[in-house]
Amino acid sequence: LFMPILVGASMRAKFPVSGVMMPMGLATIIGGMSTTIGTSTNLLVVGVARDLGMHEFSLFEWFLPVAVVGGAGLLFLWLVAPRLLPDRAPPMGDTSPRIFSAQLHVKEGGFADGRSLSEVLAKADGNLRIDKIQRTESLFLAKLPSIKILPGDRLFVKDSPENLKHYEQLLGATLFNISDIEHPVDEETPLKAEGQHLAEVVVTRGSPLHLRSLAAARFSTSYGLLPLALHRARAPSSQITGDLNQILLRAGDVLLVQGSGDAIANLKDSGTMLVLDGTTTLPKTHHAKRALFIMGSVILFAALGIMPISVSALVGLGLMLATGCLAWRDAASALSIPVVMIIVTSLALGKALMGTGMADYLAVSFVNVASGLPAPVILSGFMLVMTIMTNIVSNNAAAVIGTPIAISIAQQLGVSAEPFILAVLFGANMSFATPYGYQTNLLIMTAGGYKAADFMRIGIPLTIIMWLGFSMALPMLYQL
């Protein structure tokens, strides 16, 4: 959410984006440790522990140790980390215009009609690059200078939106196929340039265009917009071939569309896709105070123990829907089936580890290796194992495997299980040293232009600070 803001602020302040993005990204992980609902890892650990007979953790039960130890980590990220990171140029810092793949449809009577390819290129002062010339569905012409361009030919080109519209007017062509327009072009509904605007539409996950074609989504009919070109960030230099309306779109694709200002505004207001049209219309905030009050009430009721967080969250969702702060469509799109399945299957795996005796076996093995050592040292060593595991596999896997083992270790030692459960929670969240241990690490790796070595340069010292801090804080809080 804040990545574009960070990039923009860094560029305006002439401060390296790479010196800001990673510290902020790792700071969000530290902040997520502080409550039971801060991260999916926290929810997994708390859910598995409750399912195995442990007491229900309150919303802010471990906020104090995270505030103290996390404060030291935040100071490191603020004062030291930016000096350790090299100045790398991120992709988001590139201000050059996006290059779109498009098709110029030659019209009868336009400049390109009957002209040779060399004449068409000369008309564009040699700046137009034509990758392919398609005459029929299966016939592509060789790009010979003497080849004649005929009405109905498709010229496959790549350029910025401004240049594409310039070539459209210069050659008397169109960036859309008139036969694809669903209403007839006549005196009552002519094609007019007046009042038409260009906009870039980013396909996002959960939008009607993700993993669908424009034709299947009936884009032109539904939104009153003409798709003109496509930018594919995963392969910006490749040529998009075939009918634009039939191409399967994916999250991250950017469409160049044309339409009236009202049509573009309606698409933006629908919230189904991200529209970049250069306007400065402020977002509608008439529900903001109401939504903030409901959110604050949900957290307050859970923090005071008036109702469990699961109940207060559902009540809050109902109030958001009833007061118009949230639409049913948005609520449904926010429900991630993979996340739900991870939680459900993780609970089952935790029960299986306990039911089969595997957790007890691993716990006995760990205690035997650490025999003779005091409980605080065993706690610290176990947390370090979880930390290493979360950077190698994933935080959720470490949480699910570690929680039953933590309970068994505490039972073997005859001490309270809570500090060992928190050791799993903190260790599984400390995925600072690799870009693959946590989802946000991959996001900031791309946005900041980082390499894997950059995560180790910052993540290893931060992990040591946090590990030592929690190793001292947990035994003191739980009197081990």
Cα(164)–Cα(101) distance, integer angstroms: 9
**What confidence score (pLDDT) does residue 189 get?**
41
**Element of type H or E holding 262:** helix 261-270
- DSSP state letter for 148: B
Supply angle C-alpha 322, 323, 329, rounded to 5: 65
Residue 187 has pLDDT above 50, yes or no: no
- DSSP state letter for 179: G
Question: Which residue has better confidence, 185 or 222?
Answer: 222
> In the structure, what pLDDT confidence band is assigned to residue 188 with cuts at 50, 70 and 90?
very low
**What confidence score (pLDDT) does residue 184 get?**
43
**What confidence score (pLDDT) does residue 342 get?**
63
Cα(384)–Cα(389) distance, integer angstroms: 9
**What confidence score (pLDDT) does residue 233 get?**
64
> In the structure, what pLDDT confidence band is assigned to residue 427 with cuts at 50, 70 and 90?
very high
> In the structure, what pLDDT confidence band is assigned to residue 313 with cuts at 50, 70 and 90?
confident
Q: In the predicted model, what is the mean pLDDT of residues 469-476?
A: 94
Residue 21 has pLDDT above 50, yes or no: yes
Cα(396)–Cα(341) distance, integer angstroms: 12
**What confidence score (pLDDT) does residue 90 get?**
56
Question: Which residue has better confidence, 471 or 439?
Answer: 471
Residue 458, Cβ density class (10 Å: 0-12 exposed, 13-18 middle, ≥19 buried): buried
Cα(434)–Cα(452) distance, integer angstroms: 6
Q: How far is CA 73 from CA 40, 77, 204, in A?
A: 21, 6, 34
Looking at mean pLDDT, say which of 54-58, 97-101, 108-112, 250-254 comes out highest.
108-112
* Beta partners for residue 196, in sequence order: 260
Residue 232 has pLDDT above 50, yes or no: yes
Question: Which residue has better confidence, 424 or 94?
Answer: 424
pLDDT (tens digit per residue) in 266-275: 888 776 777 8
**What confidence score (pLDDT) does residue 465 get?**
96
Residue 29 has pLDDT above 80, yes or no: yes
Residue 359 has pLDDT above 90, yes or no: no
Q: Which residues contact 161 (CB under 8 A, 6 or more apart)?
A: 97, 98, 100, 198, 200, 228, 229, 256
pLDDT (tens digit per residue) in 49-88: 888 888 888 878 889 999 999 999 999 999 999 888 887 6
Average pLDDT, the chain: 80
Residue 183 has pLDDT above 50, yes or no: no
**Element of type H or E holding 276:** strand 274-276
pLDDT (tens digit per residue) in 124-161: 887 888 888 888 877 888 888 889 999 989 888 888 88
**What confidence score (pLDDT) does residue 445 get?**
77
Helices (H), 370-451: 375-392, 395-413, 418-429, 439-448
Looking at mean pLDDT, say which of 13-17, 170-174, 216-220, 469-473 comes out highest.
469-473
Q: In the predicted model, what is the mean pLDDT of residues 105-132?
A: 87
**What confidence score (pLDDT) does residue 475 get?**
93
Residue 448 has pLDDT above 70, yes or no: yes
Q: In the predicted model, what is the mean pLDDT of residues 329-356?
A: 68
pLDDT (tens digit per residue) in 288-301: 788 888 888 887 88
Answering whether pTM is above 0.85, one says: no
> In the structure, what pLDDT confidence band is assigned to residue 30 with cuts at 50, 70 and 90?
very high
> In the structure, what pLDDT confidence band is assigned to residue 356 with cuts at 50, 70 and 90?
confident
> In the structure, what pLDDT confidence band is assigned to residue 390 with cuts at 50, 70 and 90?
confident
Alpha carbons within 13 angstroms on the beta-carbon side of residue 69 total: 24
Q: In the predicted model, what is the mean pLDDT of residues 428-450?
A: 79
**What confidence score (pLDDT) does residue 218 get?**
86
Residue 446 has pLDDT above 70, yes or no: no
Cα(417)–Cα(415) distance, integer angstroms: 6
> In the structure, what pLDDT confidence band is assigned to residue 13 with cuts at 50, 70 and 90?
confident
